[in-house]
Amino acid sequence: MNQAKHQASKKRTGWSQRSSGIRAWVVGALLLLPIYLLYLAHFTNNVASGTGFLAYDMPYYMADARAYFDAGHFTLAYGLPFSPDPNTPHIYFQPLTLALGVLWKLTGSDPGVLFTVAGLIFAICSARVIIALYDEIVPLTGPAAWLGLLCFFWGGGVLTLTGFFYGLAIGEWPIAYLLYFDPVRGFWFLNLGRNLVYTTEAFYHLIFLGCILLVLRRRFAWALACAALLSASHPFSGLQLLAVLGAWSIVEWVSNQSDRPPLYFPVMLGLLAVLHVGYYLVLLNYLSEEHRVLQQQWSLPWLVPFSTILAAYGVVAALAAIALIEQWQRTRSFSWPQRLFLVWFAVSLALAKHDLVISPIQPVHFTRGYIWTPLFLIGAPVLVRAIAATSRAAVIRVIVPGAIVAFFLFDNAVWFLLTGRTEYRGHYGLTLDTEERAIIEKFDDPRFTGYLVVSQSPKLGYLATVYSALRSWYSHPSNTPYAHLRHEELNQFFATGSEPSAWHNRPLLAVIQQDEGTTTRLEATGFRTILSGERFRVLARSLPP
């Protein structure tokens, strides 16, 4: 789309002139109905009370958030809350965790509830941006365009169908394989709308997609501000956005397009990229030995198999190919948005498969709907045209569009059904029973300020960093420095009483499973019971004898 066409598109009547009104926000909020139901299943589960954390990695963001105040006062940068060392350097900063930390301090809210409410607000804002982005490509006029929006928001690929037929092919119960090709039971969110389940991803997508929307509207200064914000918020998503916009800007300038971005845009993107790499890969490693250890622990081969890529993106890739072929046959060129989306897709795919070139560092982080979305936007006009195609028979006018939409929504429909069932049974999200909540409250008792938590329960050792200012010897397995060693030291302590030298001058809170032998051994070394329940006992030792 050239500049003249872009200006003309801004003069469209109808939805585009009303899209900033209440109607767009209402539609966005309604589109999130499956997410509301998922959280309802979590909070009403039949095992124990829900925390608001639907997955294991969610709580650690609130541990980061409250770490801005763990020194007893506010600090602009925080120290790693999963380090057992209270003197760990204060070198981390993210706008999202800062905002969550300030809100937690001002309101005193439960961390999980605050995280959930913030996530729903970000999700609604993201939904609003998704509607505006779709409207830039397919004006929201007519039923077919609206059904296309539903497919954009909740569409997927053929991951569940592929899993089903794979189960049949190997002679297994096929229902058990519905999420087989969807990484981590679908919690890597390969398509778009599902990302809004996560508070953090709702925030990152709000910034990322908002930045793309600003570029389409040629608001380049504001787009740079969004790129800087996302860069400060997340190493993977920030790098991905900078790479997409930087590569697209270079392509536009090299091909000498008339509607290329102003020169300051790629120059500033280059500067942001240098700062991004300098902070995450150089400065943090220079300032902290613990971060260097974490960097090694994070270098994990979380790969995206080609079978998953084909099943997740094959359908939207086919639609995009049709749209590009039609555009090329008409004009022997691609439109301005198509060029941006093509670069977006190519860069994201290259990042997600960087294991083909270098040692992998969690390649799956670069999926998150960032490959699926540009392909869908390229092929959206073709999809809407297919939905709109009808025959004279009234029944066909209903069945054909309905079948197309149902096919697109099938992946997410199955995922929400299975995940909601799992959350209701308390098998995936983090829950706390009455005894566990009593232990959490004990962690936050001012009398135990500065104590080190050593826990036989991995969950309670982890959540101690979320619900209190205490540090755990071993908490989140990926974010605890020397995690494997720390875990072995805990096992040795509870098995034999052997203590690491680092504990010798530290007051300790020990959480043990009810066992008379362990209790007797700990009491002989100066521990005293401060809480006892059916499954756990908490013992404290102010200083070693």
Q: Are 343 and 251 in contact (CB under 8 A)?
A: yes
What CA–CA distance (Å, rounded) separates 363 from 351? 7
Q: Give how far Cα 231 sits from Cα of 95, 270, 295, 512, Å.
A: 10, 12, 18, 41
- What residue has token string 């300038």? 253
Look at strands 471-472 and 49-50 and give their pairing: unpaired
Do residues 237 and 368 lie in contact, with contact meaning Cβ atoms separated by under 8 Å? Answer: yes
Residue 2 has pLDDT above 60, yes or no: no
Per-residue pLDDT band at 395 (split at 50, 70, 90) = low
Nearest alpha-carbon partner for 147 in 395, 351, 406: 406
pLDDT at 8: 45
Residue 272 near residue 245 (C-beta atoms within 8 A) = no
Spatial neighbors of 2 by CB under 8 A, at least 6 apart, are 258, 259, 336
Cα distances (angstroms) measured from residue 275 to each of 146, 204, 227, 263, 268: 41, 19, 12, 19, 11
Instruction: Look at phi and psi of residue 5 and say left if phi exceeds 0, alpha if psi is from -120 to 50, else beta.
Output: alpha
Residue 106 burial (C-beta neighbours within 10 Å; 0-12, 13-18, 19+):
exposed
The number of angstroms, rounded, from the C-alpha of 352 to the middle of its chain's C-alpha atoms is 15
Asked if 244 and 266 touch (Cβ cutoff 8 Å), the reply is no
The tens digit of pLDDT for each residue in 328-352 reads 999 999 999 999 999 999 999 999 9
Q: Is the pLDDT of residue 228 over 50?
A: yes
CA–CA gap between residue 173 and residue 27 (Å, rounded): 39
d(C-alpha 53, C-alpha 45), whole Å = 13
Other residues' Cβ atoms within 10 Å of the Cβ of residue 132: 20
Per-residue confidence (pLDDT) for residue 545, from 0 to 100: 55
Positions of E strands within 23-154: 49-50, 78-79, 90-92
For residue 394, the model assigns a pLDDT of 63
* Residue 498 reports pLDDT greater than 70: yes
**More confident of the two residues 293 and 8:** 293
pLDDT for position 544: 61
Lowest mean pLDDT among 15-24, 271-280, 317-326, 464-473: 15-24
Does the pLDDT value for residue 11 go beyond 70?
Answer: no
Q: How would you classify the pairing of strands 90-92 and 78-79? A: antiparallel
Phi-psi group of 194: left, alpha or beta (phi > 0 → left; psi -120 to 50 → alpha; rest → beta): alpha
Q: Which amino acid is at 44?
A: T
Length of the chain: 545
Rounded Cα gap, residues 168 and 173, in angstroms: 7
Q: What is the mean pLDDT of residues 178-197?
A: 95
Q: Running DSSP on this structure, what letter comes out for residue 431?
A: E
| Over residues 284-296, mean pLDDT | 94
DSSP characters over 311-372: HHHHHHHHHHHHHHHHHHHHHSS--HHHHHHHHHHHHHHHHHTGGGTS--S-GGGG-TTTTH
Q: What is the mean pLDDT of residues 477-491?
A: 94
Mean pLDDT of 274-295: 96
State how far the alpha carbon of 285 is from the alpha carbons of 247, 267, 348, 473, in Å.
27, 26, 26, 22
Mean of the pLDDT values across residues 227-234? Answer: 98
Which is it for strands 471-472 and 452-455: parallel, antiparallel or unpaired? Answer: parallel
Q: What is the mean pLDDT of residues 142-149?
A: 93
Q: Which of 342, 338, 365 is nearest to 354 (CA)?
A: 365
Q: Give the containing element (helix H, strand E) for 510.
A: strand 508-513
Which tops the pLDDT comparison, 544 or 494? 494
Question: Cβ(236)–Cβ(366) under 8 Å?
Answer: yes
Q: What's the pLDDT score for residue 390?
A: 66
d(CA 230, CA 419): 29
pLDDT at site 153 = 98
The pLDDT tens digits for 434-467 are: 999 999 999 999 999 999 999 999 999 999 999 9
Pick from 390, 405, 186: nearest CA to 315: 405
The tens digit of pLDDT for each residue in 25-83 reads: 999 999 999 999 999 999 999 889 999 999 999 999 999 999 999 878 899 999 999 99
- Kindly tell me if the per-residue pLDDT of 514 is higher than 90: no
pLDDT computed for residue 399 by the predictor? 84
d(CA 309, CA 300): 19
Decide: 51 and 436 in contact? Cβ < 8 Å: no
Taking the alpha carbons at both ends of the chain, their separation in whole angstroms is 76
What are the structure tokens assigned to 206, written together? 């709000």
Instruction: Find out whether 378 and 338 touch, Cβ atoms under 8 Å.
Output: yes
Which residues are CB-neighbours of 27 under 8 A, at least 6 positions away? 127, 131
What ranges in 389-504 are assigned the alpha helix state H? 394-424, 434-443, 458-467, 483-496
Lowest average pLDDT, out of 206-215, 239-248, 439-448, goes to 439-448
What does R_g of the chain's alpha carbons equal in angstroms? Answer: 26
pLDDT for position 258: 84
CA distance 254 to 241: 20
Structure tokens at 283: 């400065």
Q: Quickly state the pLDDT bin for 416 (edges 50, 70, 90).
A: very high
Mean pLDDT in residue range 308-325: 97
Nearest to 465 by CA among 2, 138, 80, 152: 80
pLDDT band of residue 400 (cuts 50, 70, 90) is confident
- For the entire predicted model, the pTM comes to 0.93
